[in-house]
Structure 1
Amino acid sequence: MLRLLHRWPGLLAMALVLLLSVTGAILSLYPMAERLNVPQVESTLTVADLAKRVQNAHPGVEQIRRAPSGRVVAWWFENGTPGAAVIDPATGAEIGSPDPAFGLRFFTDLHRKLLMGDGGRITAAMGAGLMLLLSASGTVLVARRMGGWNRWFARARGPLSTRLHTELARFAIGGLILSSLTGLWMTASVFSLIPDTSVEPAPAFASASQTPLAFDQIPLFAETPASALKELSFPSPDLPSDTLKLTTEGGAALIDPGTGQMLSFATPGVMERVSEIILMLHTGQGAETLGLILGLMSLSVPVLGWTGFQQWRAARRYGARIKANVKPTLAQIVVLVASEGGSTWGFARTLHNGLTKAGQKVHTGALSTFDPNRFPHAERFVILAATYGEGEAPTAARGVAERIAKLRPAPTAPLAILGFGDRSFPQFCGYAESLAQAARAAGWTELMPMGTVDRQSAQDFTRWSRDLGAALGLPLDLTHLPERPRTETLTLISRRDYGAEVQAPTAILRFALPRKSLWARVSGQGFARFDAGDLIGILPRGSDVPRFYSLASSSRDGFVEICVRRHPGGLCSGQLTELQPGDTVAGFLRPNPGFRPQTSRKPVILIGAGTGVGPLAGFIRANRRRRPLHLYFGIRSPESDLLYGEDFAAWQKAGHLAGLTTASSRSGARHYVQDALRADAEKLRAMLAAGAQIMVCGGRDMAAAVRATLDDIAETAAQSPATLKAEGRYLEDVY
């Protein structure tokens, strides 16, 4: 429900919210520009001094006002002609026109009332209300995505649009809530929905027979600094008993110009002070730096709108392809999906279709939207959950396990869980297991033992579907056919061969970037935008099941590059290593934002073996800021499989690579990459103490040996792989 409250107002009112945010950001520039362009009053200047200087320049002065920015404006009437000007407080002379700065009136009217009068004010207020709803719901959704309020500032991960949306939301939400609330207050004040509690001094009359005193002889004028002035009104020459009126931050006073005596005084009430503070917070007048910060936060709204739209479109790409998806309120069986790359949705569609054919009313949706109250007639719940990385939740499902564990009471409809993962990893289906544990903690009844699917095995899924059918009393025997992903044609433009001497044929393959339309470049579709460490899925001939390889290049390099080792009997690796320039393959991009160097100037320790050096080489190639990168590279023999050997020297000379250490397992001293790490223990400890990040890429056995070695050489608990991983400073991409 909360996600719907966040999504649909944003989509339906996008134009209005964008207009208010952009015009608000523009208006935030004016208060600071005004403060910088007008002379400020001296710290020792009093109201008496200022009034005397202005009156000397303009004997017919009627009023002086000082804005929160420090701008002083005077109005006068001389020789039957009215006049007004910005005043230099040091001299009382005119220095400019008091008219609004260029564009200020237009943008103010556009922001406050859409150039449409009261109807526009009401529409703008509705926009502020929608902004408040989006910001409040977005706050809760960000906390959920990060895994709880205590992880609010944790590192965001996921596709670029998701990470950017989260990062900007965390930066801007507070300011957007403040701007929305203050905007609603100001609109309510205009329509008198908030009572006007301003207090005026009690009416009083001056002694008509007295000659006006000099300003410095009036005690209140002489004691009040000009920096506290808001307004000074002079008596009318046609009214002998008229008074001086002085308004400051502390209140308003009526003064007898002949005696200097204060005749009456009024202090602002609580509501009046609150209104002044709200005006300051919303407009930035008197708080120019805060105004600029709020304006910068408002500028994030267009990007939040775009990235939110991208996420909505991605969600529809999966959800809209579920045929005969009944409404949540009518569903008998609810299928919930947690997927990082989207492949689990294919199994969900197969399950949905099979249950529907069996006569069940089925609703299939994202696990991230789970709320038991949405499904009042649910008789069974089924969760299909993929595991990301080392037993982690897919990005969109972060925090769901914790929410399930806190369910009180648990849903009465029993639950079945099917996990998807890779059995070669220690945390096989680790996230599905965490969901099962959370369900047990909440007292949620188990429909059947948790099932698992290894590497998208159709046979595993079929066996599980039979067990589910037996538990449901339905004849289920589902056959899942892998959905062919949308691919692009990649043409090989060059190759470099290694490893023949050690019976491990390996190649660096470079493909041309597919041509992209302008829209694809702007929206980042396909191969329009990618980074080293992202994954490319290659479809072997005669197969719909992709094989994934880490990219050794980014879109800024202008080509797609991978490292491939030929495995005995390997369908995809065999075909790739046989390619010649001009040959083509079908591939698609899958972002891998969880394997990126942190954005900082601190050192990075790169550890790889064999083809695992591919993405690490991509990071080095992209290191144009010359950040200290240190590579530990495990190879068999420098004469046969030192991938990128000819590039490393050039990168070191250019400052892209600070240090290179190789470990050969079949020549010379014959040692492994973990041995090289152990030899550099003292150096590694120093870099870790300086905040270094560690990135490991290669086979799982190598990665396990590296973890054990680093555990041994860690000088403190803060340098252990487990601690570094929790801080986002230890990343692995293993296979």
Structure 2
Amino acid sequence: MLRKLHGLPGLVAALLLVVLATSGAVLSIVPALERSASIVPAAGELNAAELAGRVLEHYPDTEQISRSLSGEVVVYYSRNGQPGADKVNPLTGEGVAPYQPAAWLRWVKNLHRSFLFDDTGRVLAGILAALMVLICLSGMFLLARRLGGWKSVLRPISGSGSPRIHAELARFAIIGLLLSALTGTYMSAIRFGLLPEGANTEPSFPAQVSGGTPAPADSLSALKSVDVNELRELVFPYPDDPKDVYSLSTTRGSGFIDQSTGELLQYESRSAGNQFQHWMVRLHTGEGLWWLGLILGIAALTVPALSFTGLQIWWKRRSSAVHLGKNAPVDAADVVVLVGSESNSTWGFAKDLKDKLNQAGKKVYCAPMNDLAECYPQASVLFVLTSTYGDGDAPSSASQFMTRLESFKANDGLEFVVLGFGDRQFPKFCQYAQDVDAALCKKGLKQMQPVTRINCGSAQQFREWGESISEHMGISLELTHNPAPAVAFGFKLIERVDYGVAVNAPTTILRFKPVQDNTGFLQRLMVRNRKNLPDFEAGDLLGVAPPGDHAARFYSLASSATDGVLEICVRKQTNGLCSGYLHSLEPGDRIRGFIQKNPGFRPAGGATPIILVGAGAGIGPLAGFIRKNTERNPMYLYWGGRNRQSDFLYQPELGRYLNDQRLTRLNTAFSRSSEQAYVQDAIIADEIALQQLVMKGAQVLVCGGRDMAAGVKQVFESILKPLGLDVETLKTNGRYLEDVY
């Protein structure tokens, strides 16, 4: 409902809102231009009497002096029987330039106020201002929901493309847009009698005037008491009429002045309602508040971009529904895939899962979570793939799932598995997926495996999840969906360092430089302009497809783009097609590959102690993390290899890192040596020190083979137990991260 309140008004009125905002942005610079061209005396420097006297020296037939809130002073006069108007310098009374409102400015004002259609246009402008209030308020709530609550509205916004641009612009401009919309709505409501106008009793013409000889204007006591910055208008009496009076208007009120005695007559202060209305106009126009006008103008300039990105988001949501192909009948399906998605991105993963299950001979029924049936009589497995919206809420296609689950009847033997999608930076990362998992367990369904959480649509984590499902189901599931197709780059091998040949575990560190090739304008432009690699960090992934095979393999990066090289550490696998291809490369050879971000595997910043755990080639990204630790924060490495003499990977670099204190301590274990130890043994030997680090808030990062990671997890469970903690708790808090293969 909230999304509709935000989106529908914007879709209906997008073009007119752009016109309203653009014209408003143009008008917003007028107060600043007027202020920059005006001479504004300091408070107390000049009073209205002095101003009148100086103006009269240069304009003896002055009829009126007016001063705008921006400080522009205009004198209206008669000369040789012809009326005139000049801008004047208030300090001297001299004319500065003829005063004539610009025709283009009048046109823009009419466009902004009424779309050039008089009262009909004013009504339309008022309705659009009210719609803008609705759009702003609903947008604020949507933004808060997306970022995890009001306390998180200033946190960094994840994602890319139109959704992120829209959210960033909205957060930047929302206060200014809301202020303009509210004040514009108020002014329209006043104009058409929907709200009472601020009452202001105009003073009646004085019944008694002295009628004496007129005194010089600069001697009148009532004018002397008015600071020029408070003056709005001073109308002079008719010449040769001693019974006429000065008419005075200030920011505080209005009245009349006896031209002979200088006495203030029939003065009326502005009412509170009138003052409020006056300030609402100022807040809308920026008149007298030139800096606010510029802020409102900048905010208004975001409306065209917000309209464009909003339309893009709407169109993408409308057109990006994944075509799932033929579904098995509900009653005949042996596997059911239910999807909870807010922006359709989860459907891409669901389609890949469905296609691979079909290839494995399974009859699959795939549908939104809101379409949960009362039962699936033939199904043996229920997959639930769901994102989380905002602060732990259900996405749109799962909003009715929990209600429908109450009447769901599971057949005997039905297992379920929940896969959550989200962003780890949010406090309630994949919270809805966890809620669904708990609800299915409470319903009595058998859990195939604990809920898995995918961070930022990671293709690698999705693939690894598929491998674990394959083991449970006894089928092959090579999941390959990547929500952000990567741009391939050309790389030339410039250096290789070989280890492990003596112990039959050849492992090589490969370092590449980008090269220009015929792969397209985008890469050539990036290499030419950046003169280095595309953006990446240690822990991100390099995707490489070996010749004759279109399926990419992923290798963790051991370097960052700022290092100037792309570095990976690869162990040659028996019959490994891609690892064999990479090991066959010689300096000067070229490959093609692409970068895939892996933000879920990063060390925490600041002084947080970091515990790095790896074995074999898993040391690659860990070495990259240490290399970037230029602030010398506490960092501890536990690493296991086979033989100290033949495959001590990164030994020279680690020695340098210890010497310059980028690495606090190094603990190693070698299985094919006299010690016959594994990395788990090194961890157990340091149990007390590790417990102390964990109590200080340490973060654990594990990289390497799946079996090693399982053993390390088991060891950490025993270390954490006396502290009243477990690995799952650390994972929930982002303090135990894994990159396994």
Q: TM-score, normalised by structure 1?
A: 0.69
1:531 paired with 2:536, answer yes
Q: How many residues align?
A: 666
Output the CA distance in 2 between the equivalents of 1:557 and 1:123: 58
After the TM superposition, which residues 304-703 of structure 1 pair with which residues of structure 2 at under 5 Å, given as runs? 304-305=306-307, 308=310, 311-312=313-314, 315=317, 318-322=320-324, 335-338=338-341, 344-346=349-351, 364=368, 385=384, 394=387, 396=389, 398-400=391-393, 410-411=403-404, 413-414=407-408, 418-420=417-419, 432-437=433-438, 446=443, 448-452=445-449, 455-457=464-466, 460=469, 482=479, 489-494=488-493, 496-500=496-500, 503=505, 505-508=507-510, 510=512, 512=514, 515-516=519-520, 530-532=535-537, 533-538=539-544, 547-551=553-557, 562-567=568-573, 573-578=579-584, 582=589, 584=591, 590-593=596-599, 608=612, 609=614, 643=650, 659-661=662-664, 663=666, 665=668, 696=701, 698-699=703-704, 700=709
Q: Deviations over 1:38-90 (max 9, x none)?
A: 22223223222222222223222222222222332222223323333333222
SS in 2 for 1:400: coil
Quote the offset at 1:480 in angstroms. Answer: 7.8
Quote the offset at 1:505 in angstroms. Answer: 0.5
Quote the offset at 1:136 in angstroms. Answer: 2.0
The structure-2 alpha-carbon separation of the partners of 1:459 and 1:516, relative to structure 1 and needing over 3 Å to count, comes to: same
Q: Deviations over 1:386-433 (max 9, x none)?
A: 5xxxxxx856565216999999994565398641379xxxx9998633
1:181 paired with 2:175, answer no
After the TM superposition, which residues 250-329 of structure 1 pair with which residues of structure 2 at under 5 Å, given as runs? 250-301=252-303, 304-305=306-307, 308=310, 311-312=313-314, 315=317, 318-322=320-324
Output the CA distance in 2 between the equivalents of 1:589 and 1:271: 62
Q: Deviations over 1:348-393 (max 9, x none)?
A: 7669999xx9999x863xx7xx8xxxx8x9867999555xxxxxx8
The structure-2 alpha-carbon separation of the partners of 1:679 and 1:27, relative to structure 1 and needing over 3 Å to count, comes to: farther
Counting aligned pairs with the same residue, the percent is 31
Output the CA distance in 2 between the equivalents of 1:98 and 1:352: 79
Quote the offset at 1:213 in angstroms. Answer: 2.9
Quote the offset at 1:252 in angstroms. Answer: 1.5
Please tell me the residue identity of whatever aligns with 1:337. Answer: G
Of 224, 248, 257, 1:222 maps to 224
My pick for the range that moved more, 34-43 or 97-106, is 97-106
Q: Deviations over 1:231-284 (max 9, x none)?
A: 222223276543222112222112332333333233334443333222222222
Asked whether the 8 Å contact 1:200–1:252 carries over to 2, the reply is no
Output the CA distance in 2 between the equivalents of 1:172 and 1:191: 29
**Which residue number corresponds to residue 473 of structure 1?**
none
Please tell me the residue identity of whatever aligns with 1:49. Answer: E
SS in 1 for 2:40: coil
Output the CA distance in 2 between the equivalents of 1:647 and 1:81: 91
Q: Deviations over 1:471-519 (max 9, x none)?
A: xxxxxxx998856655665544115334336735133353747845579
The structure-2 alpha-carbon separation of the partners of 1:6 and 1:415, relative to structure 1 and needing over 3 Å to count, comes to: farther
Please tell me the residue identity of whatever aligns with 2:39. Answer: P
Asked whether the 8 Å contact 1:506–1:563 carries over to 2, the reply is yes
Output the CA distance in 1 between the equivalents of 2:272 and 2:429: 62
Output the CA distance in 2 between the equivalents of 1:535 and 1:17: 44
Asked whether the 8 Å contact 2:248–2:254 carries over to 1, the reply is yes
Please tell me the residue identity of whatever aligns with 2:496. Answer: R
Output the CA distance in 2 between the equivalents of 1:336 and 1:48: 77
Q: Deviations over 1:633-679 (max 9, x none)?
A: 55556985555967998x999xxx98355626159999979999999
Please tell me the residue identity of whatever aligns with 2:141. Answer: V
Asked whether the 8 Å contact 1:335–1:348 carries over to 2, the reply is no
SS in 2 for 1:319: coil
1:134 paired with 2:127, answer no
Please tell me the residue identity of whatever aligns with 1:31. Answer: P
Q: Deviations over 1:405-464 (max 9, x none)?
A: 999994565398641379xxxx999863333336899xxxx4844555884549959999
1:41 paired with 2:41, answer yes
- RMSD, aligned α-carbons: 5.9
Asked whether the 8 Å contact 2:237–2:245 carries over to 1, the reply is yes
Output the CA distance in 1 between the equivalents of 2:520 and 2:152: 38
* Residue ranges of structure 1 left out of the alignment (5+ in a row): 326-332, 387-392, 466-477
**Which residue number corresponds to residue 456 of structure 2?**
none
Output the CA distance in 1 between the equivalents of 2:132 and 2:533: 32
Q: Deviations over 1:88-134 (max 9, x none)?
A: 22222233454568975565555445566666655555554443333
The structure-2 alpha-carbon separation of the partners of 1:554 and 1:179, relative to structure 1 and needing over 3 Å to count, comes to: farther
Output the CA distance in 2 between the equivalents of 1:553 and 1:296: 40
Asked whether the 8 Å contact 1:566–1:574 carries over to 2, the reply is yes
Asked whether the 8 Å contact 1:498–1:643 carries over to 2, the reply is no
Output the CA distance in 1 between the equivalents of 2:440 and 2:204: 73
Output the CA distance in 2 between the equivalents of 1:724 and 1:288: 51
Output the CA distance in 1 between the equivalents of 2:473 and 2:731: 38
Please tell me the residue identity of whatever aligns with 1:67. Answer: S
Output the CA distance in 1 between the equivalents of 2:655 and 2:347: 37
Output the CA distance in 2 between the equivalents of 1:233 and 1:597: 72
Q: Deviations over 1:311-335 (max 9, x none)?
A: 556645652435699xxxxxxx994
Q: TM-score, normalised by structure 2?
A: 0.69
Asked whether the 8 Å contact 1:201–1:264 carries over to 2, the reply is no
The structure-2 alpha-carbon separation of the partners of 1:440 and 1:449, relative to structure 1 and needing over 3 Å to count, comes to: closer
Please tell me the residue identity of whatever aligns with 2:233. Answer: E
Quote the offset at 1:14 in angstroms. Answer: 4.5
**Which residue number corresponds to residue 143 of structure 1?**
144
Output the CA distance in 2 between the equivalents of 1:407 and 1:222: 73
**Which residue number corresponds to residue 72 of structure 1?**
73
Asked whether the 8 Å contact 1:76–1:84 carries over to 2, the reply is yes
Asked whether the 8 Å contact 2:210–2:261 carries over to 1, the reply is no
My pick for the range that moved more, 412-421 or 211-220, is 412-421
The structure-2 alpha-carbon separation of the partners of 1:14 and 1:403, relative to structure 1 and needing over 3 Å to count, comes to: closer
* Residue ranges of structure 2 left out of the alignment (5+ in a row): 328-335, 411-415, 422-427, 453-463, 527-531
Asked whether the 8 Å contact 1:228–1:248 carries over to 2, the reply is yes
1:235 paired with 2:229, answer no
Q: Deviations over 1:610-639 (max 9, x none)?
A: 65665677789999xx87777655555698
Q: Which one has the largest radius of gyration?
A: 2
Output the CA distance in 2 between the equivalents of 1:39 and 1:582: 71
Output the CA distance in 2 between the equivalents of 1:12 and 1:519: 40
Quote the offset at 1:152 in angstroms. Answer: 3.4
The structure-2 alpha-carbon separation of the partners of 1:613 and 1:269, relative to structure 1 and needing over 3 Å to count, comes to: farther
Asked whether the 8 Å contact 1:344–1:384 carries over to 2, the reply is no
